Chains A and B, each alone.
Chain A
Amino acid sequence: MSLLDVSGLGIGFGGLRAVDNVGFSAEPGEIVSIIGPNGAGKTTLFNMISGVYLPDSGHVRLDGRDVTGAAPHRLARMGLTRTFQNLQIFQDMTVLENVIVGFHQSESGALLSDLLALPAARKRSEIARMQARELLRRVRLDKAAEELAGNLSYGALKRLEIVRALAMQPRVLLLDEPAAGCNAVETEEIDHLIVELAQSGIAILLVEHDMKMVMRISNHVVVLDHGEKIAEGSPESVSKNPDVIAAYLGAGDEESVDADS
């Protein structure tokens, strides 16, 4: 039994099968990359796994438990969370608050003590604050902790988004183009961060257009084209696969620049 097991997943929009019958699995500590030309359905696949879209066929299993179609916040509390291709940061909150938000969301019945600032609420906040600072230190954002997130550089925001997800103590982390729009130095930082996270036992699902990065850090690569899985395997075997080469040549070379749909 795998940590994450995706089988036969598919969804249609109107007459179009955006994703059809896609399956793969991921183990703790593994980096699984999902690649493919623009419009291949990578982000759609992510949206189904993370509960944003309800798939019309197939299953997502987390630790053997069927979580197909579970709400995103439930999945997050179960240890499956994600980042977004177009940054989704809480701009009007401080960097520290962006990370703290993830703590303690599963506790219910806390509203009254929050309204009255009871000691229990303040203690929870204090603990969360310390844990969040520790996470920020890991990605060297601790110095910017009290700044408004909106003031950070693009590369720093990309790291912040990943760290925010870590507050959920995820077992499976979906990263949608974590290095998109980053310069070489920023890309390398994110590259290291991802490897480090995998080493700590998190299963990483990665959508990324930077092929060098994908080939360097992935354990396993799944190739999508027109919503279907056309190949999977080790980075070396996939890069030599004639179907994969044909899909990429057919798509032209804009795909490495443009964002996925």
Chain B
Amino acid sequence: MKLSSKWVQLAALAVLVAVLPLFFPSGYYYRVGALIFVNGLAVTGLVILIGYAGQISLGHAGFAGIGGYACALAPEHLGLPPSLSILLGAAISALLAVLIGKPILRLRGYYLAVATLGFGILVSMVLTNERALTGGPDGMAVQGLALRKILRGWGWRLSSGEFWYVMSALAMLLGVWIALNLFQSATGRAMRALHGSEVAARTVGIDVARLKLQAFVISAVYASVSGSLLALQNKFVTPDIAGFMHSIELVTMAVLGGVGSVVGAVTGGAILTLLPQVLTVFAEYEQLVLGLVMILVMIFLPRGLLPSIAAKMKGRGE
């Protein structure tokens, strides 16, 4: 592995997650932390699609929308508990990813970007327009997870912020562990190979279409679970979750942090989640500064924040 071994990366993340709350000045920061981890999970999925397999998607927020609305709709209409609704959302997302992935993954580069963009817009339009079911642009309320009540029964009194901080962190760490497993496995190697050269990948027996689809489906499930967790902790969901801006945000996080490395991309997610909070001091210039930061990073650290810095430190060390 390039940066370091799987367990070092996982341990570093876990320690960070465990230690950070010691420095939280108020309960509000648990919410910010949980948001970082939820984004980190979706971004990790995109690392598998973009960083490993070399395929772009500008519509993954669509899967987050499906995950989010599954948690809103399934408990109400199917009587499913919210925890199982996460799985239902993931299953629907996976199925949909297979159905749309098969035809559109034949496309490459810009064409694939535009096709996935179309998918994302489609999902957000359905969520906006099916008022009777989804409440339209106003969104709808989402039930809480029963697990928190159970924990309280056992004497664990966690605030909503604390509870979701822990749950989101666990989900992200699980996601990162799976992505790192994949990186070193035969399937992950084959994905990276087709990223390097599709024509050569075929000559070593790699079924390129099948592997692209696998990467697409896996990343869709990540996005879906991320959307579910977001809806559950906000206790509310609006079509924005599936919106174009959310898709772009996710890709930007991954690329900014370094799309070839899971930890890098998660860092990118953390920075882009935090920056708007920090940049509020710039008041109405917030968006301007945010844009400027992104442009500067891409100019001076083109491989993304973490890999570029790691490469520089390595170069200095030798």
- Residue A100 interfacial (CB < 8 Å): yes
Q: Are A128 and B193 in contact (CB under 8 A)?
A: no
Min CB gap A178→B, angstroms = 14
In contact, A116 and B204 (Cβ under 8 angstroms): no
Q: For residue B185, which residues in chain A have a CB less than 8 angstroms away from its CB?
A: 114-115, 117, 121, 125
A128: shortest Cβ distance to chain B, in Å? 7
What does the 1/0 interface line of B163-189 toward A look like (CB < 8 Å)? 000000000000000100110111111
Cβ–Cβ contact B186 & A73, under 8 A: no
Asked whether, in the complex, the Cβ of B186 is within 8 Å of the Cβ of A90, the reply is: no
B60 partner residues in chain A, CB cutoff 8 A: none
Instruction: Tell me the residues in window 84-111 of chain A with beta carbons closer than 8 Å to chain B beta carbons.
Output: 84, 88-93, 97-98, 100-107, 110-111
Question: Is the pair A128, B182 in contact by a Cβ cutoff of 8 Å?
Answer: no
Q: B204 and A92: CB pair below 8 A?
A: no
Residues of A within 8 A of B178 (CB): 115-116
Q: Is the CB of A72 within 8 A of B202?
A: yes
Q: Which of B34-42, B133-141, B206-214 contacts A (4 or more CB under 8 A)?
A: B206-214
- A105-B196 CB under 8 A given contacts A93-B189, A100-B189: no
* Listed residue (A107, A115, A168) with the most chain B CB atoms within 10 angstroms of its CB: A115
Tally B residues with Cβ within 8 Å of A.
28
Contact of A50 (CB < 8 Å), options: B184, B187, B189, B203:
B203
Q: Is B71 an interface residue (CB 8 A)?
A: no
- Taken together as a complex, chains A and B put the C-alpha atoms of A147 and B208 apart, in Å, by 25
Is B204 within 8 A of A76, CB to CB? yes
Contact of A121 with B260 at beta-carbon distance under 8 Å, contacts A88-B199, A92-B192 already known: no
Q: Is the interface of A mostly helix, strand, loop or mixed?
A: loop
Query: Does any Cβ of A come within 8 Å of B190's Cβ?
Result: yes
**Which of B195, B197, B204 makes the CB contact (< 8 A) with A167?**
B204
Contact B192 A105 (CB under 8 A): no
B interface SS class: helix
Once the chains are docked, how many angstroms separate the CA of A111 from the CA of B204?
Answer: 18
Whether B290 is near chain A, meaning CB under 8 Å from some CB there, is no
Kindly list chain B residues whose C-beta atoms are within 8 Å of the C-beta of A71.
202, 207
User: Which of A52, A90, A116 lies in contact with B192, CB distance below 8 A?
Assistant: A90
Asked if B200 is at the interface of the complex by the 8 Å CB criterion, the answer is yes
Interface band, chain A: 35 or more
Chain A residues with Cβ below 8 Å from B201 are 73, 90, 101
Contact status B181-A116, CB under 8 Å: yes
Tell me if B79 is interfacial: C-beta within 8 Å of chain A.
no
- Looking at A103, A117, A125, which has the most chain B CB atoms within 10 Å of its CB? A117
- The reply to whether B204 and A164 form a contact with Cβ atoms under 8 Å apart is yes
* Chain A: CB-nearest residue to B48: A115
Q: Does A81 contact B (CB under 8 A)?
A: yes
B192 touches A72 (CB 8 A): no
The distance from the CB of A160 to the nearest CB of chain B, in whole angstroms, is: 11
- B205 contacts the other chain (Cβ, under 8 Å)? yes
Q: Is A137 an interface residue (CB 8 A)?
A: no
Q: How far is the CB of A82 from chain B (nearest CB, A)?
A: 5
Q: For A161, what are the chain B residues with a Cβ–Cβ distance below 8 Å?
A: 200
Could you tell me the distance between the alpha carbons of A242 and B313 in the complex, rounded to whole angstroms?
A: 64
Q: Closest residue to A51 on the B side, CB-wise?
A: B202
> How far does the alpha carbon of A117 sit from the alpha carbon of B295 in the complex, in Å?
38
Give every chain B residue within 8 A of A81 (Cβ-Cβ).
203-205
The answer to whether B202 and A90 have CB atoms under 8 Å apart is no
- In the bound complex, residues from chain B placing their C-beta under 8 Å from that of A84 are 199-200
Whether A77 sits at the interface, judged by CB under 8 Å, is: yes
Alpha-carbon gap, A115 to B189, bound state (A)? 12
Chain A residues whose C-beta falls within 8 Å of the C-beta of B196 in the assembled complex: 89-93
Within 8 A of B (CB), among A113-144: 114-117, 121, 124-125, 128
CB neighbours (8 Å) of A73 from chain B are: 201-203, 205-208
A6 on the B face (CB < 8 A): no
Q: What residues of A have a CB within 8 angstroms of the CB of B182 in the complex?
A: 114-115
**Cβ-defined contact, B189 with A97, below 8 A:** yes
Q: Which residues of B contact A117 (CB under 8 A)?
A: 181, 184-185
Q: Which residues of chain A come closer than 8 Å to B204, judged between CB atoms?
A: 76, 81, 101-102, 105, 164-165, 167-168
5 inter-chain pairs at a CB distance below 8 angstroms, sorted by A residue, are A76-B202, A76-B203, A92-B192, A97-B192, A164-B204
> Nearest 6 pairs between A and B by C-beta?
A114-B185, A90-B196, A88-B200, A72-B202, A105-B205, A102-B204
Using A76-B203, A89-B197, A128-B186 as known contacts, list a sample of 6 further A-B pairs with CB atoms less than 8 Å apart, ordered by residue number in A.
Answer: A73-B206, A93-B189, A101-B189, A101-B204, A114-B182, A116-B178
B interface residues, Cβ below 8 angstroms from A: 178, 181-182, 184-190, 192-193, 195-197, 199-208, 214, 218, 260
